[in-house]
Amino acid sequence: MAAVEVRELSTVYPNGVRAVDGLSLRIADGEFFALLGPSGCGKTTLLRTIAGLEPAASGRVLIGDVDVTRTEPGKRRVAMVFQDYALFPHMTVTDNVAYPLRVRGVSRAERVRTAERTTASLSLAGLSDRRPAQLSGGQQQRVALARAVASGGELLLLDEPLSNLDARLRLEARTFLKRLQRELGVTTIFVTHDQAEALALADRIAVMDAGRIRQLGTPSEVFRRPASTFVANFIGSTPMNLVDGSLSNGTVLVAGAQLPALVDGAPSPEVVVGVRPEYLTLHATRPAAAAFEGTVAVVETLGVSSLVTIECADGVTIGATVPEGSEPAVTTKVYATPQPGRLLLYSRETGELLGAAGS
């Protein structure tokens, strides 16, 4: 069980691309940490550099306060599960799980014992003599996890652990994974491009783009206060509303509405206003507080709620979520007020968060 630290780490590909660019990060002991980002952002490369599979061009990697930047992967006491699980097709489940111990020369009896114990704890009892090809996707994933657990590392690395499972299985496996990590208490770093997965599983998330961290925080922080329009765009199952606006005299003019906005240090009045559809309340009549106004263009049922697309002034559209049963009819006029503290202001030039409007 160990903390992980990365200092000014850079990993450069032979063609000159800086996949990881001067990145620094500290992960606490026992933390379930997510590296989240679109493909090509460097998250897998970062994971592999921590594993030792890619050489760092500069910077340092420390596991448990030991500098392992130049240490061979096999000596870093790290266990890794690959996206395709990498189970050895010619070995049984037991042999696969026990393999890390075999490499270390542990006796066969001891190996089998440990393997049995580990597989039982991961609900794989009774499958010991099967080959990978005879297992379901979910079972294969758990065998790969069992192998990682059995190897007794200080750090667990997961590369897109759920992406090879089909949708239904993925949700079950997610809960399973979260529970497992809690029970084991081992520091875990996992890579994903699925923001819902990262939000559900992680204690903290690093949102990455082009080899750098764009935001580091708890799921709640990243969801509620995305540090930039990039993060805002990436997080959230329904896209955040991001609309151009301009500041003037303590208010922001956006989509034809004038909303209170007290923000200091804005470099220019040109801003992007961000508010999640879930944090907009719809009214049929003009409310007392400042609000967006427009006509309902589209209503999409999402199950327990619906997404209402509202067309405002100048053709700008915003979305708002309403609970089931209160969907307005199309072409009716509606007003939308943001919940307190949920209206975020971003610099139009840099995309960085300037502050929350008002409170």
User: What's the min distance (Å) between Cβ of 78 and another protein?
Assistant: 7
Cα–Cα distance, 199 to 10 (Å, whole number):
26
Among 16, 65, 89, 304, binds another protein (CB under 8 A): 89
Residue 327 C-beta: closest distance to another protein, Å? 47
Cβ contact 60:8 at 8 Å: yes
Note whether 124 binds another protein by CB under 8 A. no
CB-nearer residue toward another protein: 96 or 228:
96
Q: Give the C-alpha separation, 234 to 255, whole Å.
A: 22
For residues 98-117, which are near another protein according to CB under 8 A? 99-100, 103-104
Kindly state the tokens that stand for 252: 């922001």
| Contact string (CB under 8 A) for another protein, positions 32-61, x = contact | -------------------xxx--------
**66 touches another protein (CB under 8 A):** no
Q: What is the DSSP secondary-structure string of 122-182?
A: TT-TT-TT--GGGS-HHHHHHHHHHHHHHTT-SEEEEESTTTTS-HHHHHHHHHHHHHHHH
For the bound state, the minimum distance from the C-beta of residue 144 to another protein, rounded and expressed in Å, comes to 9
For another protein, the closer of residues 79 and 222 by Cβ is 79
Angle at 66 between CA 63 and CA 69, to 5 degrees: 75
Instruction: For residue 86, state whether it binds another protein (rule: CB under 8 A).
Output: yes
Pick from 149, 346, 177: nearest CA to 267:
346
The residues near 93 (Cβ < 8 Å, ≥ 6 apart) are: 115, 119, 124, 127, 128, 129, 130, 131, 132, 135, 143, 146
In single-letter form, the type of residue at position 350 comes to T
Among the candidate windows 97-105, 181-189, 267-275, 351-359, which touches another protein by CB under 8 A? 97-105
Q: Does 70 engage in binding with another protein (CB under 8 A)?
A: yes
By C-beta, is 85 or 279 nearer to another protein? 85
> Which span (75-83, 170-178, 209-217, 267-275) binds another protein, by CB under 8 A?
75-83
The residue from 24, 83, 233, 317 that contacts another protein (CB under 8 A) is 83
Cβ count near 270 (within 10 Å) = 13
- Contact string (CB under 8 A) for another protein, positions 138-177, x = contact: ---------x---x--------------------------
Reference 345, options 336, 354, 333; nearest CA is 354
Q: Interface with another protein includes 189 (CB under 8 A)? A: no
Instruction: Mark the segment that binds another protein (CB under 8 A) among 3-11, 29-37, 82-90, 281-289.
Output: 82-90
CA distance 322 to 299: 10
120 belongs to the binding site for another protein (CB under 8 A): no
Residues that bind another protein (CB under 8 A): 51-53, 70, 72-75, 78-80, 82-91, 99-100, 103-104, 147, 151
